[in-house]
Amino acid sequence: MTLRQGFPPLTLTATGLACRRGERVLVEGLDFAVEPGRALLLKGPNGAGKTTLLMTLYGAIRPAAGAYAFEGADPDGPPFLHLFGHQSAVKPRLSLIENLSFWLSVNGSGGLDPHAALDAVGLGPLARLDAGYLSAGQTRRLSLARLLVTPRPVWLLDEPTAALDTQGEAMVARLIEAHLDAGGIAVAATHLPLPIGAARVAELRLGS
């Protein structure tokens, strides 16, 4: 699958990064770099701080110490981050295709058209169904399709395979690989192994 012809090269670096949630510093002394076409998988037990690190990189939480940077990003350009978190952001009274059209109008176009995005996540035949009728896994798939209609070079993914079946897990891996092929980068918190080529993946273990 081809998602896009290519992103401008952008590298994520972290130096001595510490992340806090409320008053608690959960992780500290993080040093890593994620280059174009590469993914960083965040591993660690429940509560280790994986979501907190993703939210910090998204800019929702200020670092407790240290710094991170998206080198090569245009500070005056369009948003370059997608956060795929536990909240689905799905509107239940809108059909699947209306949900994607909504996100496209809010976030911008340039990626797959909404029908192609639904096909890519295996929901093509349900395009006209109200999203409120979707199962948990289908809702996650629809939420993932949001990333495909608006190309952004950085994907921050929190348990992207949660609630998905075996085919869905493989689908997520394919989408991430297509994103990396386009020169994007991904940071993903996951308890499950993601079948992505080992050469383009590094792991960062948080907690004990």
Stretch that binds ligand ATP, among 1-9, 46-54, 123-131, 175-183 (CB under 6 A): 46-54
Kind and range of the H or E run holding 25: strand 24-34
- Told to check if 52 binds ligand ATP by CB under 6 A, we report yes
**Residue 183 vs residues 1, 15, 37, 155: alpha-carbon distances, Å:** 14, 23, 4, 12
- Told to check if 50 binds ligand ATP by CB under 6 A, we report yes
Stretch that binds ligand ATP, among 31-39, 50-58, 131-139, 197-205 (CB under 6 A): 50-58
- Map residue 65 onto helix, strand or coil: strand
Rounded to a whole number of angstroms, the minimum distance from the CB of residue 175 to ligand ATP is: 21
- Told to check if 77 binds ligand ATP by CB under 6 A, we report no
Number of residues in contact with ligand ATP, rule: CB under 6 A? 13
**Residue 208 vs residues 1, 47, 132, 202: alpha-carbon distances, Å:** 38, 11, 39, 18
Give the Cα separation of 67 and 154 in Å (integer): 17
Nearest-CB residue to ligand ATP?
22
Give the Cα separation of 45 and 132 in Å (integer): 32
> x/- site string to ligand ATP, residues 165 to 204, per CB under 6 A?
------------------------x---------------
Torsion (CA) 68, 69, 70, 76 in degrees, nearest 10: 130
- Residue from 36, 44, 63, 111 that binds ligand ATP (CB under 6 A)? 44
- Residues forming the site for ligand ATP (CB under 6 A): 21-22, 24, 26, 44, 46-52, 189
